[in-house]
Amino acid sequence: MHPLKAVIPRGAATRREFLQQMFLTAGALSISGSLLSACGTSTGVGGRGRFGNIGPLGAPDARGIRVPEGFSTRVVAVTGQVPAPGSSYPWHIFPDGGGVMPKADGGWYYISNSEIPGAGSLGFQFPQLAPLSNIIEIFVPGLGGSGVLEFAADGTVVDAYRILGNTTFNCAGCVTPWNTWLSCEEWPNGQVWECDPTGANSAIARPALGFFSHEATAIDTQRRMVYMTEDMPDGRFYRWVADNTDWPAGAARPALQSGKLQVLKVNGGGVAAALNGPQPVVWIDALSPDQPQDANRHPDSAAFDGGEGVWNHKGFVYFSTKGDNRIWVYDTHSETLEVIYDLATAENPILSGVDNITVTKQGDVLVAEDGGDMQVVVILPDRTLKPLLQVTGQDGSEIAGIAFSPDGRRMYFTSDRGGPNGPGLGITYELLLPEGL
């Protein structure tokens, strides 16, 4: 058993619609606490990636999930139920972003955020209320956080426990190369929290990474940077640049205590022109980096409609924007930005409600849908699309938390507001891939 590593903060189809419904019915602040990845290959065409040859989705299995032939699924955790014998931790409400960290004995940890809204979420749903809700959040700790499923080498769940508590609307994040978990708070004055997946050390807030509606993070160890998305209708794309004191050359990890917060500026034809080809970009220093960024926008920075998942793969940083259903790629080599998928103009528009992103070693971009058709869709290296799975009977939920076991045979994902028999408070699945894939 691991102790609760709680910390006290500083002071319909999409999640935004779902939140609005909750707040309008006064349900958001009365949820019972008892129920309570490093983040592809070149973007150039060519290659079929890992999933290029999978077949079409079959009929729903016993859990209501459609998968290609040779794949199978199982449930590994259900909200409110204890996932492992001997554990006293009931799996958390609204499991969202997730990642996997390997263990020395061949097992692994699956880390999962709990996306429970709180007072600060009022400012996320209704931006005009952010100044007030930010203050309330200081005095009313949230019910969110992060939990862990611990797996043995044979895939058995052997323990479950919490590694972060008293935070709000924890969305995505990533497993760091130095074996910690970055958990993002998605509200206007939210922070990134660094957590120990083993449960041995308490979580630590990292204010150097900025105050905004953090969605996800991705790490570039070569350039000593952290990329971050902001889920607001006028959100920005950020990076934190370490200084030589915080992350000395050759050091295994940064202190995440000092450095520079920057936002992306798109030159050339601007953001709209990125639909037609790569546009040059530059990074500019954020205004008042120690203050909520929604109230301190740099006038030259580019606005993105609802930043979601982000993933760095070999210097190509993929991110999604749900407001306009686009997948973007920032090329750190050429310093350009391009749209590689746009629902409105796509020849094969099977991907909507774009959200979490995971990129395989082979360059497949896996995109989870928030709403849409409740699918995980693969953008192959040649930019063609294939569905990998579909959750049926859970309309109003979203898929999140995609992460692979260290050997790549198992893929974990969640239905944020799903249940074993339809709508619920969250369920976490495992997808077993065919041998040799």
What confidence score (pLDDT) does residue 44 get? 41
pLDDT of residue 21: 54
The stretches in the chain having pLDDT less than 50 are 1-13, 22-38, 40-45
Q: Is the pTM of this model over 0.85?
A: yes
Residue 318's pLDDT is 98
Kindly state the tokens that stand for 223: 């350039």
What confidence score (pLDDT) does residue 122 get?
87
Look up residue 47 and give its two tokens. Answer: 């290659």
pLDDT of residue 32: 33
What pLDDT was estimated at residue 114? 98
Per-residue pLDDT at 196: 98
Q: Cα separation of 365 and 320, whole Å?
A: 11
Question: What is 15-432's CATH topology?
Answer: Neuraminidase (2.120.10)
Residue 169 is predicted with a pLDDT of: 96
The CA distance from 39 to 378, in Å, is 17
pLDDT in tens, 86-136: 899 999 999 999 999 999 999 999 999 999 999 888 888 888 888 899 898
Domain ranges in the chain are 15-432
| 396 class by beta-carbon count within 10 Å (0-12 exposed, 13-18 middle, 19+ buried) | middle
pLDDT at residue number 422: 79
Q: Which residue has the tokens 């006290």?
A: 8
d(CA 348, CA 5): 45
Residue 356 exposure: Cα atoms within 13 Å on the Cβ side: 33
Three-class secondary structure assignment of the chain: CCCCCECCCCCCCCHHHHHHHHHHCCCCCCCCCCCCCCCCCCCCCCCCCCCCCCCCECCCCCCCEECECCCEEEEEEECCCCCCCCCCCCCCCCEEEEEEEECCCCCEEEEEEECCCCCCHHHHHCHHHHHHHHHHHHHCCCCEEEEEEEECCCCCEEEEEEEEEEECCEEEEEECCCCCEEEEEECCCCCEEEECCCCCCCCEECHHHCECEEEEEEEECCCCEEEEEECCCCECEEEEECCCCCCCCCCCCCCCCCCEEEEEEECCCCHHHHHCCCEEEEEEECCCCCCEHHHCCCCCCCCECCEEEEEEECCEEEEEECCCCEEEEEECCCCEEEEEEECCCCCCCCCCCEEEEEECCCCCEEEEEECCCCEEEEECCCCCEEEEEEECCCCCCEEEEEEECCCCCEEEEEECCEECCEECCCEEEEEECCCCC
* Torsion sign over Cα 419, 150, 432, 321: positive
For the chain, what is the largest distance between any 2 Cα atoms, rounded to a whole number of angstroms? 59
Tokens (6 digits) for 162: 């919490």
Taking CA 318 as the corner, what is the angle to CA 314 and CA 322, rounded to the nearest 5 degrees? 170
